Amino acid sequence: MKWDEVRAIYPNQFVKFEILHSEENNNEQIIDDVAVIGPVKEEDATKELLNSKNNTLIYHTSKEQVVVKIRRVIGLRRTN
């Protein structure tokens, strides 16, 4: 389901969904196709997000686009 469709069905609320398709652009993941799991109460959104795994996200439908910042972890190893 496209994000515009999700916004029309679940206006101004948090939804839980699985990412089906996304594109990476300048350290951002732009998600454009999702499988909706269902709406999430505002008071439960943070807890649900923290418990999300793999390709599952919680996002608010007031946002025109689903954009996730990609943080690259660069590790340096020290040898003795």
Q: Choose between 50 and 77: higher pLDDT.
A: 50
Q: What is the pLDDT of residue 70?
A: 85
Domain boundaries, the chain: 3-69
- Say what the pLDDT of residue 15 is: 97
- For the chain, the average pLDDT equals 91
The pLDDT, as a whole number, for residue 74 is 72
Sort 75 into a burial class: Cβ within 10 Å, 0-12 / 13-18 / 19+: exposed
Please indicate, yes or no, whether the overall pTM of this predicted structure exceeds 0.95: no
pLDDT in tens, 1-36: 999 999 999 999 999 999 999 999 888 999 999 999
